């Protein structure tokens, strides 16, 4: 079946030819390489694979296909050239197995597999696949060309490619870490984890490899997760011929087709495959302050004091690489930090958690304990020739642990012991794990570096995209072992699909520009719908200085990003080196490149504070949304079109987003913007969060903007829990005496509060509180009911109830049968545990 084609296109025929019996024969024509194409070909056999729900398909060609079902909505297609070679998946969550049985049948032209949700057909002629909705028989996926594998004479396996057809109006979303427009259609993308300092709108290979995307067409939405750790490629109709091509440079082609038909069903089924993070400690959802770098100790103390004196809530302070001794991970620079334990404990007294950076590149240094023990345990990556992979990152010569090796992970996890258990560090930050290498243009390991791959063995080309993910796994598992009662907080840069199980993400080295503010929104939304709900950006931008206005707008966006962290490269620029000779210039530079929320002066300081305070006020809602993400897989943040995927206007206003079940945010992303057009989805009424003004859904509105504006809309029929009590950090939020409930009228509605200690695993033993609020509003009578579940004793004593959207006067109110007066402003103060309120 192997057809032979030449690569690159052959040069003009002739130079080295001669004639035999009048025929021209090429004898010495040579090319840089030649390639061969392989397909499944005409289907010969469809066999059940030993007792499982898997079918093995052989055709006339060498490509094999295995079809198995994870559920009625998720089917796995495994294409391989000959026998499969990839026998382990890092992407899948533990316990995911393809074990659903479905009906199989055949007719003259095709084989068919039918689950309750989808019908997959395989053409006997050439193995092309078509997928339909099993209920209405509408086509949701089809191929005009069959699956193809390319090998080359010199490289062997070179490409595994799935072509399929896009419908005219089909849009593509997801793919995790991409810039550019929300709809992926019309461009090509590659996944190859890259240290992309100061990336731009059209940078392609960013820090993460998340080979999962959505197709949204008239008939419904589906997703495809290509569980392949090699470099992967996605061509979403870049040629405008309706052809989509997805390919990988090696391995097997393990693709999961995930049917919706609703986008949020696809999102949650993808999470079912790849897992969720744990519930973060509540402090991790507070505001975080970072910079490269805060040191020495006195500077850190001063920073902490500034936060409290200037009245800015904050939960975490980060130490970047300069806390280390000569960039040796797991050590301290004792001149800068003579007593880390004391510093950390003093910070905690002022309600700050301390987070420190850990890189994977470890200094080659015979006097460095970590290096010595790693050598002893044989945990470092080696080249093809058996020597260690050595290269420069921060230290001039580093070695790197092979995190795909179980004992290397175990070794790595224990390295955190001193920092985590003895010195009281609360969280960690794993950087440079693409893995990044300095000095070489490739910016990473050469492909020949060998990895253990759980004993299977693989080269770096195969493991590159999971290196960062496995690093965070090793860290996460280590932290869990070291302090089993604490929820780990880990922030990471490079990762792969499923990496959400181990760490939160930030979007890397962005730039302080308005364009990057737009990207910040897109990237977080894209990551969020691609499995990573716990995301955020370097607020204000990592490179360069934001203006006060940009900083304010970025913080106002960051209010809704689960990770709300300001970070910047500070004065670590070439400019700083240049200025070294000039003390005045340098001092000015140091000053200018501070990025704490108060450095811009008024009116900005009040505006940045207001944004951070809003974040703390919304924590109960955000925490509840997070918990629901863990239960349902529905992302905390979703693009507006998740609210109504059939409405083209929701697709058009794709920078607007949903937070949790009831909130819609229209971020202000342009400089000097005085007004903006927003679109509110159909079928609901919406309320301005700030004024309570009611808007009919299904319309566009022009909003007037002030520098303070954070346009938020709540949908009618919802209840929003928040804590209005001013606080310094989440420990105060957890001690608040009053919960505020804002009720947005509709004929009926509901809302929820999930609350717990904010730390630890008591919630697994019902040490939580789930308060469900539901209401009906008929004939001017409002009845609200509350049911509380769980054993957690929250600090709340009362509820401040605000009712939004009432047109008539309410009747006298009662709570649990007793009459109660409204306050002057129309709000009610109810006992926290009330069961029924009427008015």
Of the pair 171, 433, the CB lying nearest ligand MIG is at 433
Q: Which of 158, 170, 249, 431 binds ligand MIG (CB under 6 A)?
A: 431
Q: DSSP string of 131-142?
A: EEETTT--EEEE
Helix (H, G, I), strand (E, B) or coil at 571: coil
Pairing of strands 427-430, 353-358: parallel
CA distance 306 to 312: 8
- Please state the separation of Cα 108 from the chain's center in Å: 45
Q: Report in angstroms how near the CB of residue 198 gets to ligand MIG at its nearest.
A: 10
CA distance 668 to 551: 12
Token reading at 697: 């859904």
Q: DSSP string of 628-688?
A: HHHHH---SEEEGGGT-TT-HHHHHSTT-EEETTTEEE----STT--EEEEEE-TTSEEEE
Q: Report in angstroms how near the CB of residue 433 gets to ligand MIG at its nearest.
A: 10
Of the pair 253, 506, the CB lying nearest ligand MIG is at 506
Of the pair 397, 822, the CB lying nearest ligand MIG is at 397
The answer to whether residue 359 is catalytic is no
- Compute CA distances 417 → 320, 421, 672, 674, 835, whole Å: 19, 5, 49, 52, 47
The residues in 502-541 that bind ligand MIG, with binding defined as CB under 6 A, are 508-509
Helices 514-529 and 548-558 cross at an angle (nearest 10°) of 10
Of 434, 613, 644, 759, the catalytic one is: 434
Of 320, 509, 538, 644, the catalytic one is: 509
The residues in 261-320 that bind ligand MIG, with binding defined as CB under 6 A, are 292, 320
Q: Report in angstroms how near the CB of residue 504 gets to ligand MIG at its nearest.
A: 14
Beta carbons within 8 Å of 669's beta carbon, 6+ residues apart:
514, 517, 518, 521, 553, 557, 655
Of the pair 198, 364, the CB lying nearest ligand MIG is at 198
- Please state the separation of Cα 375 from the chain's center in Å: 34
- Compute CA distances 732 → 352, 737, 755, whole Å: 12, 10, 14
CA distance 391 to 439: 9
Of the pair 250, 468, the CB lying nearest ligand MIG is at 468
Q: Report in angstroms how near the CB of residue 472 gets to ligand MIG at its nearest.
A: 15
Of 431, 459, 613, 647, the catalytic one is: 431
Of the pair 207, 689, the CB lying nearest ligand MIG is at 207
CA distance 51 to 211: 30
Site map (CB under 6 A) of ligand MIG, residues 537-576, x = contact: ------------------------------x-x-------
Q: Report in angstroms how near the CB of residue 423 gets to ligand MIG at its nearest.
A: 20
Of the pair 411, 542, the CB lying nearest ligand MIG is at 542
Residue with tokens 């944004």: 611
Of the pair 360, 508, the CB lying nearest ligand MIG is at 508
Q: Report in angstroms how near the CB of residue 429 gets to ligand MIG at its nearest.
A: 8
End-to-end CA distance of the chain: 77
Q: Report in angstroms how near the CB of residue 373 gets to ligand MIG at its nearest.
A: 24
Q: DSSP string of 780-807?
A: TEEEEEEEEESS---S--EEEEEEE---
Q: Is the bond into 740 cis (omega within 30 degrees of 0)?
A: no
Q: Which of 117, 321, 676, 743 binds ligand MIG (CB under 6 A)?
A: 321
Residue with tokens 């998720």: 74
What are the helix (H) ranges across 378-459?
A: 406-414, 417
Q: Report in angstroms how near the CB of residue 426 gets to ligand MIG at its nearest.
A: 18
Q: Which of 74, 160, 209, 357 binds ligand MIG (CB under 6 A)?
A: 357
Helix (H, G, I), strand (E, B) or coil at 547: coil
Token reading at 105: 């049948």
Token reading at 20: 């035999």
Cβ neighbourhood burial of 41 (10 Å; 0-12, 13-18, 19+) = middle
Helix (H, G, I), strand (E, B) or coil at 218: coil
Of the pair 81, 569, the CB lying nearest ligand MIG is at 569
- Compute CA distances 599 → 481, 526, 538, whole Å: 41, 31, 16
Site map (CB under 6 A) of ligand MIG, residues 377-416, x = contact: ----------------------------------------
Of the pair 233, 567, the CB lying nearest ligand MIG is at 567
Q: Report in angstroms how near the CB of residue 207 gets to ligand MIG at its nearest.
A: 8
Of the pair 543, 723, the CB lying nearest ligand MIG is at 543
CA atoms within 13 A of residue 573's CA, in its CB half-sphere: 20
Q: Report in angstroms how near the CB of residue 492 gets to ligand MIG at its nearest.
A: 10
Token reading at 596: 């704490």
Does 434 participate in binding ligand MIG (rule CB under 6 A)? no
What count of residues does the chain have?
A: 839
Nearest 5°: phi and psi at 485? -95, 0
User: What is the helix (H) or strand (E) element at residue 251, kind and residue range?
Assistant: none
The answer to whether residue 509 is catalytic is yes
The sign of the dihedral angle between the CA atoms of 789, 795, 798, 799 is negative
Of the pair 354, 752, the CB lying nearest ligand MIG is at 354
Residue with tokens 């052989």: 58
Token reading at 752: 């929820």
Site map (CB under 6 A) of ligand MIG, residues 87-126, x = contact: ----------------------------------------
Q: Report in angstroms how near the CB of residue 293 gets to ligand MIG at its nearest.
A: 7
Helices 406-414 and 369-377 cross at an angle (nearest 10°) of 160
The answer to whether residue 544 is catalytic is no
Which residue number places its CB atom closest to ligand MIG? 292
Site map (CB under 6 A) of ligand MIG, residues 467-496, x = contact: --------------------------x---
Token reading at 231: 């470099």
Beta carbons within 8 Å of 761's beta carbon, 6+ residues apart:
484, 485, 487
The residues in 3-62 that bind ligand MIG, with binding defined as CB under 6 A, are none
CA atoms within 13 A of residue 270's CA, in its CB half-sphere: 37
**Nearest by Cα to 636 from 666, 660, 665:** 660
User: If binding means CB under 6 A, how many residues of this protein chain bind ligand MIG?
Assistant: 11
Q: Is the bond into 603 cis (omega within 30 degrees of 0)?
A: yes
Q: Report in angstroms how near the CB of residue 493 gets to ligand MIG at its nearest.
A: 6
Of the pair 362, 658, the CB lying nearest ligand MIG is at 362
Q: Report in angstroms how near the CB of residue 432 gets to ligand MIG at its nearest.
A: 6
Which residues are designated catalytic? 431, 434, 509
> Which residues sit at the interface with ligand MIG, rule CB under 6 A?
292, 320-321, 357, 431-432, 493, 508-509, 567, 569
């Amino acid at each position: 079946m192997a057809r032979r084609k030449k690569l690159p296109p052959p040069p003009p025929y002739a130079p080295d030819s001669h004639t035999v019996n009048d025929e021209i024969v090429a004898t010495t024509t040579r090319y840089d390489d030649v390639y061969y194409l392989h397909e499944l070909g005409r289907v010969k056999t469809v066999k059940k694979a030993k007792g499982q729900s898997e079918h093995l398909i052989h055709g006339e060609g060498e490509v094999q296909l295995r079809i198995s079902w994870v559920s009625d909505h998720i089917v796995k297609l495994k294409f391989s050239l000959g026998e499969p070679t990839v026998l382990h998946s890092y992407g899948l969550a533990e316990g995911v197995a393809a074990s659903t049985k479905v009906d199989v049948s055949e007719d003259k032209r095709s084989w068919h597999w039918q689950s309750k949700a989808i019908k997959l057909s395989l053409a006997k002629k050439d193995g092309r696949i078509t997928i339909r909705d099993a209920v209405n028989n509408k086509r949701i996926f089809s191929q005009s060309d069959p699956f193809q594998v390319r090998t080359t004479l010199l490289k062997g396996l070179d490409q595994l490619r799935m072509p399929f057809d896009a419908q005219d109006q089909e849009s593509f979303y997801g793919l995790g870490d991409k810039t550019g427009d929300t709809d992926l259609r019309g461009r090509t993308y590659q996944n190859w984890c890259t240290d992309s300092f100061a990336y731009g709108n059209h940078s392609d290979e960013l820090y993460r490899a998340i080979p999962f995307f959505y197709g949204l067409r008239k008939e419904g939405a589906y997703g495809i997760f290509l569980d392949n750790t090699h470099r992967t490629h996605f061509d979403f109709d870049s040629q405008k011929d309706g052809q989509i091509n997805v390919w990988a440079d090696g391995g097997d082609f393990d693709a999961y087709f995930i049917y919706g038909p609703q986008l949020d069903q696809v999102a949650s089924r993808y999470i079912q495959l790849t897992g969720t993070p744990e519930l973060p400690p509540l402090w991790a959802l507070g505001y975080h302050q970072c910079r490269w770098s805060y040191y020495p100790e006195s500077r850190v103390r001063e920073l902490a004091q500034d936060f409290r004196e200037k009245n800015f809530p904050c939960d975490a302070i980060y130490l970047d690489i300069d806390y280390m001794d000569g960039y040796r991970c797991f050590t301290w620079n004792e001149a800068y930090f003579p007593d880390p334990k004391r510093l950390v404990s003093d910070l905690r007294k002022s309600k700050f958690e301390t987070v420190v950076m850990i890189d994977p590149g470890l200094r080659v240094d015979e006097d460095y304990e970590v290096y010595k023990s790693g050598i002893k345990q044989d945990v470092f990556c080696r080249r093809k020739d058996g020597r260690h992979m050595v290269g420069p990152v921060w230290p001039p010569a580093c070695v790197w642990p092979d995190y795909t090796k179980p004992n290397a992970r175990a070794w790595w996890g224990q390295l955190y012991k001193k920092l985590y258990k003895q010195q009281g560090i609360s969280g960690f930050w794993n950087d440079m794990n693409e893995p990044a290498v300095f000095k070489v243009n490739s910016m990473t390991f050469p492909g020949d570096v060998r990895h253990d791959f759980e004993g299977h063995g693989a080269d770096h080309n195969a493991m590159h995209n999971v290196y960062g993910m496995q690093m965070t796994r090793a860290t996460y598992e280590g932290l869990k072992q070291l302090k089993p009662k604490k929820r780990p907080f880990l922030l990471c840069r490079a990762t792969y699909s499923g990496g959400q199980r181990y760490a939160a993400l930030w979007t890397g080295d962005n730039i302080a520009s308005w364009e990057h503010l737009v990207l910040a929104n897109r990237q977080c939304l894209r990551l969020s719908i691609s499995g990573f709900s716990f995301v955020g950006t370097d607020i204000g931008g990592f490179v360069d200085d934001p203006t006060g206005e940009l900083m304010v707008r970025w913080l106002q966006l960051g209010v809704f990003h689960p990770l709300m962290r300001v970070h910047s490269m500070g004065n670590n620029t070439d400019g700083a080196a240049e200025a070294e000779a000039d003390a005045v210039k340098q001092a000015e530079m140091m000053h200018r490149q501070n990025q704490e929320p108060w450095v811009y002066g008024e009116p900005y300081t009040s505006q940045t504070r207001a944004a951070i305070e809003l974040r703390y006020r919304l924590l109960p809602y955000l925490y509840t949304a997070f918990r629901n993400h863990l239960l349902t897989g529905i992302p905390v943040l979703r693009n507006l079109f998740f609210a109504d995927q059939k409405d083209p206007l929701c697709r058009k206003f794709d920078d607007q987003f949903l937070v949790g079940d009831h909130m819609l945010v229209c971020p202000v992303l342009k400089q000097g913007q005085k007004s903006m057009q927003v679109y509110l989805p159909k079928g609901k009424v919406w309320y301005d969060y700030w004024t309570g003004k009611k808007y009919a859904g299904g319309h566009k509105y022009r909003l007037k903007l002030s520098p303070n504006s954070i346009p938020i809309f709540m949908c009618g029929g919802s209840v929003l829990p928040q804590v209005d009590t001013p606080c310094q950090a989440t420990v105060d939020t957890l001690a608040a005496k009053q919960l505020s409930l804002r009720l947005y009228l509709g004929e009926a509605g509901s809302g929820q509060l999930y609350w717990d200690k904010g730390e630890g695993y008591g919630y697994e033993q019902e040490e939580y509180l789930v308060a469900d609020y539901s209401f009906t509003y008929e004939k001017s009578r409002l009845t609200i009911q509350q049911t509380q579940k769980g054993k957690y004793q929250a600090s709340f004593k009362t509820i401040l109830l605000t009712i939004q959207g009432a047109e008539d006067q309410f009747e006298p109110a009662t709570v649990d049968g007793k009459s109660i007066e409204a306050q002057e402003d129309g709000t009610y103060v109810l006992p926290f545990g009330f069961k029924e309120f009427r008015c």
